[in-house]
Each structure stands twice: as structure tokens, then as C-alpha cells.
């Protein structure tokens, strides 16, 4: 995973302002490899659709992934015949490499790509890019797994697609529904920040970009699509699935170890409504309570399992101390990330040290309850011990949340107000949208 570059800050979400007529607003990339038969009909159909329906200037870029057939000649002929089409030739294969190369060099404020087979109905293209133009979203993807999508494909591909997306949800906590649909778009200013962090150059490029974008707090818009499987697709399913699983492992490991600098991808203050200082509204209290309760329930179960295991070879006090220590470290780490939303490794040691202080308080409460039980009866049974420990842990949990919120993970204090507050200038690309007063024929 690439960690040698500083990604900088994500731009503020704003509507792209109007610009001069004829400036390309959208750059649609069509990555190809040995597609001399399908490339011409695909590009001409896409060009006709955009000319007829898209209200802004556009460009179609054919990205040739080192084809060995007549694909480069077909691409050059299309570029010569159609003014809004250009071709780019790469010496190495890889869809991700092609997209990174073209997107990094493009001057269009909205970047998209689609597969050459045009399996996705083109009527979804304008709904795909509209939220990016308006500033509502950072990325947009077509989804074949949405409830209102209409998909025609075989059982084998359906099973593989759904299984892969379930793996992403279970292993990388992905919330988007369809990582593999070849129909995606991204704002150029966001791509400039994210692309240096994406390592894959093949089919896993899409998934890696989406996972990193989601973890960085980007908004991903999903569009239900109509999709018809291409029976002549040249994609090698087994090889692609194997490479995807390797990519899942690599990205998951990088996220788990904190080697990705996602904590530096902060937006300008004020872009996120959760940043606003609202009088009388404790910041994030409801969400933190829910997260803390979930983590607390799992931690209590983990603690009880550990205590029962340690009790087989140790006394009640030692078993309690060991179980509480191990579960406290796990509890602090989980609350740090899930409840209070702290990313990266900065301050992790200090947070764990403060968590151990909170652990000490919990140890006093639980050990004291066990001592009181021992004083009350000489030989308490195991179920009674567990009941006493549960009650003591409930009391310690309330105190733990208060200490976590007020001391370990306090809300950042708002900066002192200045006479003329200033937000960082958004990194909006130039040029942008055409004059809204222009006619559609002018835009075409």
C-alpha cells in the first residue's frame, strides 16, 4: 500500500460554477484491450447518446491497454471522425492503470468510465454524474444489486458478484452495494487526492478506490441500473476473483495496521454539518451512546468468556484481573475507532494509557464486589459470581462512558471566533460548467 505521498485535504463539496461554452465538463473513459470489433459501435453509440441527451460539453477518451490487434487503428479513426473523441495508448495492460493515467491528466471536472460492451443502459449516465456536478456527492457508481435495478445475467455471475460484495461488507465494512459494475464517476478534485493512495492497476482498482473513499468520509452516490450480461466478455472470472481476494487482504491489512494516511484526508471545517457548533446539542452524543452500548455488550461477553476460561487455572481475583485487562485493551481500541471516530495511530498509546486508568477503576469495582461476596459467603457458586460481576460491570460501564467522553476522547474545542472567518478555498478545477443560458445545441 502506498504511503510515500501526502494526499492533502479533500475539497469542499460545492456546485461546479459555470464556465465558457465548449469546455468539456465530463470525460468518459472507455478502457479497452483487443476490442477492434466492438470499439467502433460502442463509441459511436455513446457519442450519439451524449450528443442527444447530455446538456453540457463532453469528451470520450479511448484508453488502449497495450492491445495487440487493430484496436489502436480503430481508436485513431474514431478520434479523427468524431471531434469529441480522443485516444490514449498505453504500453502496459491494466484497467486500473488506464483509468489512473487518463484521469490524472484530464482537465474535465467530472471523470467517468464504462466498459466497452455497454452492458449498462446509457440512460443512467446523466443520473450518475448529476450529483457530482451539483456538489452533493464525491463519487457515483452504478449498482446492479439495488432493489430497482433490472439485470439479465447467468446464475454463475450473479452468485460470484453477490458473494464478492458480501465479502467486502464482512471484511472491509463496505457500505456500497456493487463494487464491480463497470459504470462509475468521480469528481476530478477528489480523484487528485485519492488516486495516489490506490495501488492496484487491474480489476481491483475500483474496489480499492471505493473503500478508501468511504473510509476517508467521501459521499458515494448509487444509481440503480439496467444491465444485460455480455456473453462474449473476455474477462477471466477465476483469475479476476483471485486477484480481487488478494486485494481485499492487502487493503484490509493496511487499514488494520493504520498504514494508510486516511486521517489526513480532512475536509475544510464547515463542509460537514456534524462540524457545526450547535447550542444545546451535545456533539454526536446519540451516536456515541449507541456505539458505546454495542461495544460494551460485546466487551462484556468477551470478558465473561475470558473469566470463565481463566477460572479453570486461577483464583477468582486473578481470573477477573486478567480478563478485565485483556477486554479493556480491546474495548478502548474499539471505542476509539467505532464510538468516537478516531482514525490513524496518532495518540493511540496515550488513549490506551488513559483506558488502563479507567480499567483500574473498573478493577476496583469488580474486585471489591468479589471481595464483598467472599465475605458474605465462604463458597459462592460460579453463577453467583457471574451475577455479581455483571452488576459491578454495569456500574463500571456507566462510569467508563463518562470518562471516555470527557477525558479520553473529548470533543475538540471550537476555535475562537475571528472577525472575518475564512474557509479554505475549494480546489475546483478549471474550466467548469458552461453558461446555463446556452441552448442544448450550443452545449453539444
Q: Which residues are known to be catalytic? A: 206
For residues 352 and 358, give the distance between their C-alpha atoms in angstroms, rounded to a whole number. Answer: 10
- Three-state DSSP at 415 gives coil
CA-wise closest residue to 112 among 25, 28, 210, 222: 28
* Residue where the block lists cell 466497452: 116
CA dihedral 178, 179, 181, 183 (to 10 degrees): 110
DSSP string, 340-364: S---SSTTHHHHHHHHHHHHHHHHH
Q: How far apart, in Å, are the Cα atoms of 13 and each of 183, 231, 235, 327? A: 22, 40, 36, 40
d(CA 376, CA 398): 26
CB 3 within 8 A of CB 261: yes
Which residues have C-beta within 8 Å of that of residue 204, sequence separation ≥ 6? 96, 243, 244, 246, 247, 248
Q: What is the 3-state secondary structure (H, E, C) of 159-191?
A: HHHHHHHHHHHHHHCCCCCCCCCCEEEEEHHHH
Q: Which residues contact 172 (CB under 8 A, 6 or more apart)?
A: 211, 248, 251, 252, 255
Contact (Cβ atoms closer than 8 angstroms) between residue 120 and residue 181: yes
Radius of gyration of the chain measured on its C-alpha atoms: 27
Cβ proximity of 189 and 116 under 8 Å: no
Q: What are the angstrom distances between the C-alpha of 121 and each of 26, 29, 47, 229, 434?
A: 18, 16, 14, 11, 26
Amino acid at each position: 500500500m502506498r504511503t510515500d505521498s501526502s494526499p492533502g485535504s479533500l475539497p469542499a463539496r460545492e456546485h461546479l460554477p459555470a464556465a465558457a461554452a465548449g469546455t468539456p465538463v465530463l470525460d468518459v473513459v472507455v478502457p479497452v484491450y483487443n476490442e477492434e470489433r466492438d470499439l467502433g459501435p460502442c463509441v459511436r453509440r455513446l457519442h450519439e447518446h451524449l450528443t442527444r441527451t447530455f446538456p453540457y460539453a463532453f469528451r470520450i477518451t479511448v484508453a488502449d491497454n497495450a492491445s495487440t490487434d487493430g484496436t489502436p487503428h480503430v481508436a485513431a479513426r474514431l478520434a479523427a471522425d468524431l471531434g469529441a473523441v480522443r485516444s490514449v495508448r498505453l504500453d502496459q495492460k491494466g484497467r486500473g492503470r488506464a483509468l489512473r493515467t487518463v484521469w490524472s491528466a484530464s482537465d474535465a471536472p467530472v471523470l467517468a468510465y464504462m466498459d466497452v460492451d455497454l452492458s449498462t443502459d446509457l440512460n443512467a449516465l446523466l443520473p450518475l454524474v448529476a450529483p457530482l456536478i451539483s456538489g452533493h456527492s464525491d463519487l457515483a457508481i452504478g449498482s446492479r444489486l439495488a432493489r430497482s435495478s433490472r439485470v439479465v445475467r447467468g446464475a454463475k455471475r450473479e452468485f460470484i458478484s453477490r458473494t464478492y460484495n458480501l465479502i467486502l461488507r464482512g471484511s472491509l465494512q463496505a457500505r456500497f452495494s456493487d463494487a464491480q459494475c463497470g459504470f462509475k464517476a468521480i469528481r476530478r478534485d477528489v480523484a487528485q487526492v485519492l488516486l495516489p493512495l490506490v495501488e492496484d492497476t487491474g480489476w481491483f482498482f475500483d474496489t480499492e478506490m471505493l473503500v478508501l473513499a468511504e473510509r476517508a468520509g467521501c459521499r458515494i452516490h448509487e444509481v440503480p441500473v439496467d444491465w444485460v450480461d455480455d456473453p462474449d466478455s473476455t474477462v477471466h472470472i477465476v483469475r479476476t476473483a483471485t486477484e480481487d481476494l488478494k486485494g481485499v487482504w492487502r487493503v484490509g491489512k493496511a487499514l488494520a495496521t493504520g498504514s494508510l494516511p486516511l486521517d489526513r484526508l480532512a475536509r475544510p471545517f464547515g463542509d460537514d454539518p456534524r462540524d457545526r457548533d450547535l447550542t444545546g446539542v451535545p456533539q454526536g452524543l446519540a451516536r456515541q451512546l449507541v456505539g458505546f452500548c454495542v461495544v460494551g455488550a460485546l466487551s462484556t461477553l468477551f470478558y465473561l468468556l475470558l473469566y470463565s476460561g481463566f477460572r479453570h487455572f486461577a483464583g477468582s481475583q486473578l481470573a477477573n484481573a486478567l480478563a478485565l485487562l485483556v477486554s479493556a485493551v480491546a474495548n478502548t481500541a474499539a471505542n476509539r475507532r467505532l464510538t468516537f471516530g478516531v482514525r490513524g495511530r496518532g495518540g493511540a498509546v496515550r488513549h490506551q494509557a488513559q483506558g488502563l486508568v479507567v480499567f483500574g477503576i473498573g478493577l476496583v469495582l469488580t474486585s471489591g464486589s468479589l471481595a464483598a461476596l467472599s465475605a458474605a459467603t465462604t463458597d459462592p457458586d460460579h453463577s453467583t459470581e457471574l451475577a455479581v460481576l455483571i452488576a459491578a460491570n454495569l456500574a463500571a460501564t456507566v462510569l467508563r462512558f463518562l470518562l471516555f467522553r470527557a477525558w479520553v476522547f473529548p470533543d475538540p474545542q471550537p476555535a475562537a471566533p475571528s472577525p472575518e472567518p475564512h474557509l479554505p478555498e475549494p480546489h475546483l478545477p478549471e474550466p467548469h460548467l458552461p453558461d446555463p443560458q446556452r441552448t442544448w445545441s450550443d452545449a453539444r
